[in-house]
Structure 1
Amino acid sequence: MNDKSSNISKRRRTARAKDNADYVAKRAEVLRAAAALFKQQGFHSTRLVDVAREAGLDRATIYYYAGSKEELLQDIVGGVLDTAIAAAEELRANAALTGMQRLHHIFVTLMASYEENYPATFVYIQEQMHQVGVQETEWAQAMMKRTRLFDRMLIDFIQEGIDEGDLRSDIPPRLHENALFGMLNWTHRWFVPGGGLTGYQVAESFWSIYTGGALTDAGRARMRTPLVLSAVTG
């Protein structure tokens, strides 16, 4: 079915603009079905008709709720990023917080968001995040703009931590960011809600490793011994 050659795209836009409760509820169901299939089968292997079947719709009716699977993924992840930006802006506006407190809070909030919106955010990280920077679509450009805004706020929090003497100044802010948030972004390879650790527990464990290191005092003492390669390689 060609969405552009029919009136259904107009009907879809009208329905979304009216914000009808029944339509909103069914579209949310479609989004959940899409997210689950994207995670199970991969974004590229999932067809819109698969989403329709999962959501209990026929292959024609699905176009009333979405013009493409790309539209579904974009709607899922766009809201997650907007929520993260809003949280960071609220933290930035709170003058009572230190840079490290802001950084800690947004770090935990982001992992909690990954868990709450599972698997949609992970699908985006796996399938499309690396493509957004080279795409020229209106959505991709908007995502890049919002991503850069969020990134600047994270760097600002880190720089505050450095200026306040809480973070090492010999490590560039960008490297601090890559080390800390890189741990979160890699969770898409293994984290599953209900799998033994909550998103909060994962975030706090990562935060502890980042701020305190993974070694115990005894471990640090042993690591002061110079590494002898022959002892390692045999």
Structure 2
Amino acid sequence: MTLPGNNPRWRGSGAFTMGKVSNISQRRRSAQTVGSADYAAKREELVRIAARLFKEQGYQSTKLADIAREAGLDRATVYYYVGSKEELFRETVEGVLDVNMAAAERLIADRSLSWRDRLHSIYVTLMVSYEENYPATFVYIQEQMHQVGGEETIWAQEIMKKTRAFDQTLIRFIREAIGSGELRADIPPRLVENALFGMLNWTHRWFTPGGPMTGLEVAEAFWSIFIDGMGSKETA
């Protein structure tokens, strides 16, 4: 005798739902492999919508259904483009971090620049990146630091590894500038980093693109404030 729980006719909508989700997952993987321009455009639109909603509502409060509604799609159709809300969050923040890390590596390789010039350049780059990639950069600062740190997924571990590596690169710029006599040596490098980049991180509370100052202008103003206090007597 077949028990109800083992009879496909008694499984209700759950079995059909799982089958449907599995089918959509297969179609999604196929579409991503083929690389249709329309598919890629819609996926990018979903990432932009997700970034905006993560900014406005917070990552935890934003549901995939909210993103679907803003995109004019039903939830099942959204699964054709993305597998989860975490996937959208990942794409929102990871690309920006990768670009900034690449910029820092290029500066390290450029031996024509002093270490203070390198520090200045990456500082400006980060603020301009914040403006150009807004609101994805807002989400990174507002959510990623604590949200990802508490997760145990492979991606969460990877993004935190990248974040720590980038932090060490920034510290290297400061230490090298101090070691070469380009910055004063009586203040610990970590305190210098907290002061300098803390100014940038706080801009998410008040800066939005299109305001009275550009990201470049804000970065240069902050740099001027910093360097007037940190410049060594020999290089001031």
Aligned residues: 214
Structure 2 unaligned residues grouped into runs of 5+:
1-16, 230-236
Counterpart selection for 1:33 from 49, 52, 70: 49
Summarize the Cα distance change of 1:74–1:2 in structure 2 as closer, same or farther, 3 Å threshold.
farther
How far did 1:10 drift?
2.4
Tell me the residue number matched to 2:169: 153
Code of the residue aligned with 2:160 in structure 1: it is: M
Tell me the residue number matched to 1:188: 204
- Whether the 8 Å contact between 1:43 and 1:127 is mirrored in structure 2 is yes
CA distance in 2, matches of 1:2, 1:41: 29
Cα deviation, 1:68-100, whole Å, max 9, x if unaligned, reads: 222101111100000001000000000111111
How far did 1:109 drift?
0.6
- Whether the 8 Å contact between 1:84 and 1:110 is mirrored in structure 2 is yes
- Whether the 8 Å contact between 2:93 and 2:144 is mirrored in structure 1 is no
Between the two proteins, what is the percent identity of the paired residues?
67
Tell me the residue number matched to 1:67: 83
Give runs of aligned pairs for residues 211-222 of structure 1, distance below 5 A.
211-213=227-229
- Whether the 8 Å contact between 1:39 and 1:119 is mirrored in structure 2 is yes
Tell me the residue number matched to 2:112: 96
Summarize the Cα distance change of 1:186–1:79 in structure 2 as closer, same or farther, 3 Å threshold.
same
Cα deviation, 1:3-43, whole Å, max 9, x if unaligned, reads: 99522122222222332211111111111111111122222
* TM-score using structure 2 length: 0.85
Cα deviation, 1:122-174, whole Å, max 9, x if unaligned, reads: 12221231132332211111111211221121111111110121211111111
- Whether the 8 Å contact between 1:98 and 1:160 is mirrored in structure 2 is no
* TM-score using structure 1 length: 0.86
Code of the residue aligned with 2:215 in structure 1: it is: G
Code of the residue aligned with 2:192 in structure 1: it is: H
Q: Are 2:43 and 1:43 aligned?
A: no
How far did 1:66 drift?
1.4
Q: Are 2:141 and 1:125 aligned?
A: yes
Tell me the residue number matched to 2:126: 110
Structure 1 runs (4+) deviating above 4 angstroms are 1-5
Structure 1 unaligned residues grouped into runs of 5+:
214-234
Summarize the Cα distance change of 1:195–1:3 in structure 2 as closer, same or farther, 3 Å threshold.
farther
Counterpart selection for 1:23 from 14, 19, 39: 39
Summarize the Cα distance change of 1:104–1:2 in structure 2 as closer, same or farther, 3 Å threshold.
farther
CA distance in 2, matches of 1:176, 1:200: 21
Code of the residue aligned with 1:24 in structure 2: it is: A
Tell me the residue number matched to 1:225: none
Larger radius of gyration: 2
Tell me the residue number matched to 1:164: 180
- Whether the 8 Å contact between 1:73 and 1:124 is mirrored in structure 2 is no
Counterpart selection for 2:216 from 178, 181, 200: 200
Summarize the Cα distance change of 1:90–1:4 in structure 2 as closer, same or farther, 3 Å threshold.
farther
Q: Are 2:175 and 1:144 aligned?
A: no
Indicate the RMSD between aligned Cα atoms, in angstroms: 1.9
CA distance in 1, matches of 2:34, 2:168: 35
Counterpart selection for 2:74 from 46, 58, 61: 58
